[in-house]
Chain A
Amino acid sequence: MSYLHNIGQYFLMIKQIFRKPTKWSVMRHLILKDIDDLIINSIGIVSFIAFFVGGVVTIQTALNMTNPLIPKSLVGFATRQSVILEFAPTFISIIMAGKVGSFITSSIGTMRVTEQIDALEVMGINAINYLVFPKFIALMLYPFLISIAMFLGIIGGMAACFYGGFSSVDDYIAGIQMDFIPFHMVYAFIKTFVFAFLLATIPSYYGYYMKGGALEVGKASTTSFVWTSVMIILFNYILTQMLLSS
C-alpha cells in the first residue's frame, strides 16, 4: 500500500510542478541558481570520471583483443559505442543520482525540517512549483553535461591508446569514425532527457514529503539515491528495448 501511495503522491507532485507558476522575475533567478548548482558545479566531476573511465574502457578492450586478425581500429570503435550508448548517458546518470540527487533531497528536506516550506505555503506560494520547477528546467541542460562526458570519454580512450601503446592514434581515430549510426546519438539523448526528468523529480519528491529531523534528511537522501538509480536502470532497459530492438 505504501508503494502505491508513494507512486500516486509522486504523480500528484508532478502535476503540481506545472500549476500556479511563481512570478517570472523570481523564477528566473531560481533557474539560474539551479543551473549553477546542478549543471555547472557538476562539470568537474563528470569530466574527471568520463576521461578516466573512457581510458579504462579502451585498455580493457585492447587487452581482450588478442587475435591478430582483429583490426586495431576496433579499439576506438568499441570505446565509442560503449561511451555513447551506455557509459555517458547511464553511468554518469547513476553518479549524478548520488551527487545532484542527494543535494536536491537534502536541500529540500532541510527546508521542510526548518519550516521554510511551511513559510512558503503560508504565503500562498505553490512551494512545489517554486522548488522543483527550476530544478526541472536546469536539468533540461543535462544533455550538455552528457555531451562533455561523451567527448572526454573518447578523448580519454585516445590518451590511453597513445600513452599505453595499445594502438596508434590513427587507428583509434579511424575506429571512432567507423560505421557511425547517427540514430545512436538520438537514442542516447532521448535517454538523457528521461534520466534528467527522473533526476529532477524523484529526489525532489523524497525531500519534499520527508517527515522528521536531521536524521531523516540523511535517510531520505539515501532512499532517493536508491530509487533514482533503480528507475534509471529500469528506464534504460525499457528505452533500449523500445528504441534499438527493431
Chain B
Amino acid sequence: MIEVNDIHKSFGDSEILKGISTVFEKGKTNLIIGQSGSGKTVFLKTLLGLFIPEQGSISYDGKIYSKLSPDQKSELRAEMGMVFQGSALFDSMTIAENVKFPLRMFTKQNKSEMNDRVNIVLKRVNLDDAHNKLPSEASGGMQKRVAIARAIVNQPKYLFCDEPNSGLDPRTATVIDNLIQEITQEYDITTVINTHDMNSVMEIGEKIVFLKDGIKEWEGSNKNIFKTDNEAVTNFVYSSDLFQRVQKMYLEEDQ
C-alpha cells in the first residue's frame, strides 16, 4: 500500500502538484487520470522517487521515503517495477536480456536460475518465442509486454505504469490492461497506472484518482465514475460521443 500525504512539487515558479493526498491499495489496479498537463506524470515520477516533493510525504507499506537512508532507498527501488510510456527497453540487448537485466543486477541467481525465471515471465506475457529478438524488431504491443515482463521479473511489491497502452490499437490495449490487472491480483502487488484512456478506466479502474491542475479533484472507482456530479470529471469522461451514449444508457438503466 502506498500512502500519499499532502505532496507539493514545483519546477521554478510553477507549482505542478498542489497538495495531493490519497491511498493506493495493495492487490488493486489504481489509476491516475486527468487531462494532459494535469500533473499525472510528475505525480507518478514523484511516487517513483525520481522527483523529490518540497512538502508532504509518501510511505510505502509504512516506510516513509524521505526518512530512508540512501541504501534503504535503493532497496525500496529494487522492489518497484516500472512500465514506461515508450517501454524504455535497452535497445542494445535482446528481449530475453532486457527481462534478465534486473535479475543480473539485484540477485545472486546463477545463469540457469535466471534463464528459468525469464522463461516463466516471458511465457506469462505470451512472448515465449521472442527471446532473441531485439526491441527494434518487436511491435509496440510486444515491446509493452516485454516492459511488463521486465517490471515483474524480480517480483516487485509495487508496479507503476505510465500510459501503458498509448499508441496501441484498441484490441492490444485491452490485452495489456487485462494483463496488468491479472498480474496485480496474481502477485498481490500495489499497481499504479497513469492513463487518460477511458477504456482502461472502464476495464480495470478499481481505484481512480482524477487530477486537475495539480489538485486531486475526485477519487472513486469505475463503478461510480459515471454517476458522479463532479463537473470536471464529467467534462473529462463525456468528452467523446461514445461515452455520452454510455452515460445515456446508464441513466436509462437507473430510470
Interface residues of A, count at CB 8 A: 16
Q: Which of B71-106 contact A (CB under 8 A)?
A: 73-78, 80, 82, 84-86, 88-92, 102, 104-106
Segment of A20-28, A144-152, A162-170, A174-182 engaged in the interface with chain B? A20-28
> How distant is B99 from chain A, measured CB to nearest CB, in Å?
13
In the complex, A123→B48 CA distance in Å?
A: 10
Contact A25 to B104, CB < 8 A, known contacts A116-B88, A124-B73, A124-B78: yes
Q: Select which of B80, B85, B89 is within 8 A of A122 by beta carbon.
A: B80
Q: Is B50 an interface residue (CB 8 A)?
A: yes
Chain B residues, Cβ within 8 Å of A118? 45, 50, 82, 84, 88
In the complex, A119→B88 CA distance in Å?
A: 7
Pair B77/A124 contact, Cβ less than 8 Å: yes
Chain B residues, Cβ within 8 Å of A116? 88-91
Residue of A nearest to B85 (CB): A115
Instruction: Give the size range of B's interface with the partner.
Output: 20 to 34
Pair B102/A123 contact, Cβ less than 8 Å: yes
In the complex, A125→B77 CA distance in Å?
A: 9
Pair A122/B86 contact, Cβ less than 8 Å: no
In the complex, A22→B75 CA distance in Å?
A: 14
Chain A residues, Cβ within 8 Å of B91? 114, 116
Residue of B nearest to A125 (CB): B105
In the complex, A118→B50 CA distance in Å?
A: 8
Pair B84/A124 contact, Cβ less than 8 Å: no
Residue of A nearest to B49 (CB): A122
Among B75, B76, B90: residue with most chain A CB under 10 A: B90
Residues on A lying within 8 angstroms of B by beta carbon are: 20, 22-23, 25-26, 33, 114-116, 118-119, 121-125
The 7 closest A-B pairs by CB, nearest first: A124-B77, A115-B88, A124-B74, A119-B88, A122-B82, A115-B84, A124-B78
